[in-house]
Amino acid sequence: MMVALSVAPAVASEPARNTDGEARRVVILNATDPYLPAFLALDSAWREAIRAGSKAPTQLFAETLDMSRFPQLLFDEDRVALLRKKYRALKVDVIVALAPIALDFAQRHAADIWPGAVIVFNSVPVSDFDSRNLDPRTIGVPNQLDFGPTIELGLRLRPNARRIAVVAGTAAPDQRHLSHAKAWLARHAGELDVQYLVGLTLADTVAKVQVLPKDTVVLYLAMFRDGAGVPLVPRDVLEQLAAASPAPVFGVFETFLGHGIAAGSIASFAAQGRQTGELVVRVLNGEDPAAIGVQAPVTPGCIADWLQLRHWGIDESLLPPGCEVRFKEATLWDRYRWQILATLALILLQTALIAWLALSHRRLRQAQTAAQQEHDLRRDAETLATRLRDRLGRFSREQSLGAMATAIAHEISQPLIAIQNYAQAAKRRLESNVDDKPKLLELYAKIEGQAARAGTITQRVRSAVSTSDLELLPVSLAPLLDEVVRIMEPETEDRGCHIVCESAADLPAVLADALQVQLVLVNLLRNAMQSVCSSEGFDKRVFIEARPVDEREVQVSVMDRGRGVPPGRVADIFEPLYSSVSGGMGMGLAISRATIEAHGGRLWYEANPTGGAIFRFTLRTARP
């Protein structure tokens, strides 16, 4: 709230003139209570402006007249004497006079107390200057108290209001404000029902306000002193009034905001203080005060208290355009902006973290899946490889031995069937007694042809394993044996068998068709495994042994500890179509023997002295 002030300077001896480099001095002459909210707002604003703008070091002094609570005239002389004494030795450049009382005091006594000082006033209503004579060394920022526009604003926000209640105290500023307001209201007489609550005790004032009709616009001017002469802080009074009032209260002072007024046409104290400080700076920096002169007042503008608007149910849209709305704390955003930002940041961070984790997790899972797939693929590939190897093994076996035997059997059966048919046809023709000699001759010729065909097939079988078709090359036997063991591996595992391969270190290369020899070995190994691995109770190992016999021969043995071959059957096993094993064509050993013999070697059977079978074959060494 705005307050009136007065100043009581003391008279000093002739102070030294200010020179460049010397400190500048400013005395703040406050007519009011030093803790008056309005003063604090103004004071900090101009101190800030002076500190920022003054070229020379500047000392600030504060004098409080507190004239509201202590009637000025009573202490005037003593104050002046005291201040004169106090500032006797100091050259003061500027007196900042706050409010009309302080300006009055300064105008009366500044020449005595602070000779040569320029007076810069503040918070003096524009209307005062009609009756005030100012010398050129007195400049300042008057204030414009918009009681009229505030009433208009009140009526705008309360469209249904039919009456105005004006509340004011009895102190000088209270009365000054009241006269301003009355002047405005007088110009609008007849339109409104105006009630003045002035000169009452605070308690009575509150009581009167309490019973006001709801359609009232309450204009609170200020109450520095009530009807009983009790000094008051206008803002504290406002709080009581606002608490009691059934209708919104309006006022013109910025410091009332947040303490009970709903809105008002208000000039910012900070702006007024800053402007005042800037005037001080100009003077301190050497400008001629006469050239500066009295400034235009800071223009008041609509300012509303959002909480009050909400409290009274006033629609914000009723506010005039450009109206500043304060305390819009309802938005959590305003109150907790940083907390919200921090929280949001935290949430974002967490979200990002979670997202990152989720992403990582997914990537991990993808990686795992990929790894799993790769693993599966590899496993499939291995399975496939095993199967292929198995098939290869079977292929090599069947293709050349079993299947070859089957193919041979089929090949031979065809001409045999034909021979049989031809023979029967001839026989029937003979039996029918039809003399058709050419036909019979033809049939016999065909029989002969088919017999020759059968002969050719057997010839072909023999030649398939004869030297002429074999590619005898120097072959290193050890790797060949390893290869066979590897080919047999899947089958070996399936049967739970184990092939033990021992080859002599000084094994010479042999002359062999590697594939054919491998097939022989596969055949022998399979026989051995069928013998020992298909039934329980046998040593499930099959041994391969390779060693040189002499310079010309190498001997390879395939041994098992199965049943062996019954002594009476040894001669039969190398006969075609003999098989001790069901499912085989029995051609294996015969062809194997033929193959080895085609290599210039021998293949034979020996009973294993420890039980089981031994098949041995020899191959010629590659030595010249």
Partner 1 sequence: MTHTERQTVFIVDDDAAVRDSIAELVESIGLHAEGYASAPEFLKAFQPERPGCLVLDVRMAEMSGLVLQERLNALGAGIPVIVLTGHGDVPMAVEAMKAGAVDFLQKPYREQALLDSINAALSMDTAARRSKAAAETFEQCLATLTTREREVFDHVLAGETSKEIARALEISPRTAEAHRHNLLRKFGAGSAKELMSMLASSDKEE
Q: Which stretch binds partner 1 (CB under 8 A): 51-59, 199-207, 423-431, 546-554?
A: 423-431
Cβ(161)–Cβ(154) below 8 Å? yes
310, 446, 498, 541: which one binds partner 1 (CB under 8 A): 446
Strands 301-305 and 261-266: antiparallel
The answer to whether 418 contacts partner 1 (rule: CB under 8 A) is yes
Give the nearer residue to partner 1 in terms of CB position, either 108 or 453. Answer: 453
The answer to whether 340 contacts partner 1 (rule: CB under 8 A) is no
**Shortest Å, Cβ 412 to partner 1:** 11
Opening angle at CA 198, ends 196 and 203, nearest 5: 115
The answer to whether 162 contacts partner 1 (rule: CB under 8 A) is no
Neighbouring residues of 576: CB distance < 8 A, sequence distance ≥ 6: 405, 586, 587, 590
Cβ(522)–Cβ(397) below 8 Å? yes
**Shortest Å, Cβ 579 to partner 1:** 15
The two structure tokens encoding residue 484: 């066979």
**Within its chain, how far is the Cα of 468 from the centroid?**
79
Give the nearer residue to partner 1 in terms of CB position, either 454 or 514. Answer: 454
163, 429, 498, 602: which one binds partner 1 (CB under 8 A): 429
Q: Which stretch binds partner 1 (CB under 8 A): 85-93, 413-421, 500-508, 553-561?
A: 413-421
Task: Give strand pairing partners of 140.
Answer: 121, 294
Opening angle at CA 576, ends 571 and 579, nearest 5: 75
Give the nearer residue to partner 1 in terms of CB position, either 115 or 449. Answer: 449
Number of helices followed by number of strands (H, E) in the chain = 16, 19
The answer to whether 294 contacts partner 1 (rule: CB under 8 A) is no
Neighbours of 56 (CB within 10 A): 16
| Interface positions, 48-107, toward partner 1 (CB under 8 A) | none
Q: Is 2 left (phi over 0), alpha (psi -120 to 50) or beta?
A: beta
CA nearest neighbour of 196 among 147, 131, 266: 147
Q: Which stretch binds partner 1 (CB under 8 A): 296-304, 315-323, 444-452, 528-536?
A: 444-452
The answer to whether 413 contacts partner 1 (rule: CB under 8 A) is yes
Give the nearer residue to partner 1 in terms of CB position, either 424 or 534. Answer: 424
Neighbours of 345 (CB within 10 A): 11
C-alpha span between 491 and 4 (Å, rounded):
116
Cβ(265)–Cβ(149) below 8 Å? yes
Question: Helix (H, G, I), strand (E, B), or coil: what is residue 150?
Answer: helix
339, 366, 414, 456: which one binds partner 1 (CB under 8 A): 414
The answer to whether 424 contacts partner 1 (rule: CB under 8 A) is yes
Helix (H) or strand (E) holding 428: helix 403-431
The answer to whether 416 contacts partner 1 (rule: CB under 8 A) is yes
Give the nearer residue to partner 1 in terms of CB position, either 204 or 398. Answer: 398
| Interface positions, 447-476, toward partner 1 (CB under 8 A) | 449-450, 453
Give the nearer residue to partner 1 in terms of CB position, either 203 or 445. Answer: 445
Give the nearer residue to partner 1 in terms of CB position, either 431 or 471. Answer: 431
| Interface positions, 351-410, toward partner 1 (CB under 8 A) | 410
C-alpha span between 285 and 301 (Å, rounded):
32
357, 417, 445, 571: which one binds partner 1 (CB under 8 A): 417
Give the nearer residue to partner 1 in terms of CB position, either 432 or 468. Answer: 432
**Which runs of consecutive H residues, i.e. helices, occur in 54-98?**
72-86
The answer to whether 585 contacts partner 1 (rule: CB under 8 A) is no
C-alpha span between 48 and 280 (Å, rounded):
11
Give the nearer residue to partner 1 in terms of CB position, either 239 or 411. Answer: 411
Give the nearer residue to partner 1 in terms of CB position, either 339 or 414. Answer: 414
The answer to whether 428 contacts partner 1 (rule: CB under 8 A) is yes
**Shortest Å, Cβ 449 to partner 1:** 7
Helix (H) or strand (E) holding 272: helix 269-284
Interface with partner 1 by CB under 8 A: which residues? 410, 413-422, 424-426, 428-429, 432, 443, 446, 449-450, 453
